[in-house]
Amino acid sequence: MLNQVLQASDWLKTRIANIDIFDEHYQKEGLTNPFYALGPIFYLVWFIVMASGLILIMWYVPTKAAAFNSIFDIQHSIPFGGLIRGMHKYGADAMIIAATMRMYRMFMLADYKPGKEFNIAIGLITLLLSMYSGLTGYLLIWNQRAFWATKVFATFPTYMDQFPVMGDFYLPLVKSLHMGWNTAEGLLGGGAAITQETITRFFSLHLAFSLIPLMFVELYFYKNPQFKRVPINWLKRIIVTAMLVIVATILPAAQGARSNPDVTPLPILSDWYFLGLYQMYKYLEPVVATEITLIIPLSVIFLPFIDVFVTGQEKNIMKRPFILMLSLMGLVCWVAFSFLIIANIANIHNDPPYWRDFLYLLIDVGIIWQLYLIWTNNDIKARIKSAPGAMMLGIIGLVQTFWAWVYYYMARTEMFLGPISQAFAYKLVRGLAGSNATAAEDLVKKVMPINNAYWDYPSILSAESLAKNPNPAGKEMIVQIQSLANNTHTSIDGLFTAIPTFTPAPHASYTSMMDFMLNNRWVFDYNTFIDRMNGLVPNYPVPVPELDWYWMIGGAIAMVLGFGTYYWCNSSKQPLASSQATPPPSTNQETVKSS
């Protein structure tokens, strides 16, 4: 146990020691290779952006009434104001470009090997801070495009309240937190409205996204004096600065039209680096798109560890096709989605199956290509070492296959992941409730058209509520539902009675499993799922789009090949052991000759 702790500690210390914020460990390479100068260039441009921003603050007024006019005065009345604003705006764009290119370089050249996996997370943080700094600064112009883009973007967190398990709608365990709504409230300050509080908060966040990280970066360089902050010569620094000056002079930063809350522009567009994300939100339901938006950065952080597990210390990108295909997938989607939203030619009803096919099949191509390299490797020892990597690829195929199975039911019933997961969970445990489960399901079907708030029966049937409304709609059935909830006991009731509801008496906690299932509408989700799958609802079940079958089957093929390759690699251990145990034939021949 102690050895394992020490190994884990050494593993963590090595990766912390190898952290690069701005490519400090590649300063020699940066002298000749411009791709390894992206970190220093980012740091240089960051300082230009902060310096120009501090100058702009002297004239900028962060109020609804004066923000637009103050930007106009900076642009046209202040000496060199347009140039300074342009350098601030295009410098921010340059930061995002440099951070993005650096991320791709790190994946293409495997700069996270050996022992530098944390650098991907650091690179991602610099990119996200740049993007969100740009997002908060975008609103400060207070023009029509920025106003509406911010309004759309800042309401996305509210969909977190519909997430499976932690969503307010389905699980009162976190109902008092209102994570999604509180996040939006923290950003906007006025609910879903853009108010003076919004511009005040965005102004402070815009400064914080630069100044707070700057303090940590300076502490890092203070602790590591062997690293230079910008290890590029003055000529290169002047070239980078001159590029910003030239662009700001030729293409002055746009002013746009003053914001008008009463006129919605079509289409609503954000700044260029969020355009692809906006198009994704068009293709998908907002709650699903919000889930994917959170999954993407988490996946990026874990990819280096997966790559090291699969390919070891290999750095040649052509021998790491899984990473190559994933990188290509991300680039193509971002570029294509950005183009589609600008051109406004996408069909949000017909396009998604094509994109799902592209996304998943590209992953499958990467898996099969990676497995092919294992199959064609004649080195038995290398093949045996590849067994864990093949298993990992098989697991990735398994995850895609599982998702294809879930998607099949989602497509046929047109239910989201949250409701359908609740329906499946209820189906697993309903047998424990016996005939009472069927009775509860029948009651829910009958009462739903009469009183769709039946699930809140503890409140409806409380003395206080009955005093105000003694005969709520469907009262008799609601009383029966409450009776079933309180009198249906199962062997796993203890799991549910331990869950707090954060609601006032008389329902401070659940009385049984059935109480939980009814009160959180899992029974309703199950009824909806069964009725739609059995064709009891008109126009259901819906056929799965034909194109989706390709990626659904592709994941299963990748899974089988991955696990099969794992078995094949492990089967090579026995011949290797036999060959090592057999004595060399030359020994007997030499004995005969000596005789």
Nearest to 511 by CA among 539, 488, 479: 488
Residue 298 confidence (pLDDT): 93
Residue 584 confidence (pLDDT): 58
DSSP-assigned letter for residue 112: T
Nearest to 36 by CA among 26, 45, 44: 26
Residue 497 confidence (pLDDT): 85
Considering the chain, tell me which residue range(s) the CATH 1.20.810.10 domain(s) occupy.
12-142+196-253
Residue 390 confidence (pLDDT): 96
Nearest to 167 by CA among 418, 499, 504, 516: 418
Q: C-alpha distances in angstroms, 256 versus 68, 71, 234, 525?
A: 9, 11, 36, 47
Residue 592 confidence (pLDDT): 43
**Torsion angle in degrees (nearest 10) through CA of 426, 431, 433, 439:** 80
Residue 97 confidence (pLDDT): 96
* Residue 143 φ/ψ, nearest 5 degrees: -100, 180
**CATH class, 12-142+196-253 region:** mainly alpha
Give CA–CA dist 78/67, Å, rounded. 15
Q: C-alpha distances in angstroms, 362 versus 282, 327, 344, 378, 562?
A: 22, 10, 26, 27, 16
Give CA–CA dist 555/402, Å, rounded. 9
Residue 258 pairs with which residues in a beta bridge? 143
Contact 341, 278 (CB under 8 A): yes
Query: What DSSP assignment string belongs to 468-527?
Result: H-SS-TTHHHHHHHHHHHHH---TTHHHHHTSB----TT-SB--SHHHHHHHTTHHHHHH
pTM of the predicted model as reported, rounded to 2 decimal places? 0.88
Nearest to 124 by CA among 330, 392, 366: 330
Residue 174 confidence (pLDDT): 46
Quote the tokens at residue 379.
């080195």
Residue by residue, pLDDT tens for the chain (595 residues) are 788 888 889 999 999 989 999 999 898 888 888 999 999 999 999 999 999 999 999 999 999 999 999 999 999 999 999 999 999 999 999 999 999 999 999 999 999 999 999 999 999 999 999 998 998 999 999 999 888 888 877 777 777 777 765 555 444 544 556 677 777 777 777 666 788 888 999 999 999 998 899 999 999 999 888 888 888 889 999 999 999 999 999 999 988 889 888 888 877 788 888 888 888 888 888 778 888 888 899 999 999 999 999 999 999 999 999 999 999 999 999 999 999 988 888 888 889 999 999 999 999 999 999 999 999 998 888 889 999 999 999 999 999 999 999 999 999 999 988 889 889 999 999 999 999 999 999 999 999 999 988 988 888 888 888 999 999 999 999 999 999 999 999 999 998 888 777 655 556 778 899 998 998 889 999 999 999 999 999 999 999 999 999 999 999 999 999 999 999 999 876 665 565 655 555 555 444 444 4
Residue 181 confidence (pLDDT): 73
Residue 164 confidence (pLDDT): 63
Sign of CA pseudo-dihedral 516, 518, 521, 526: positive
Sign of CA pseudo-dihedral 311, 302, 100, 326: positive
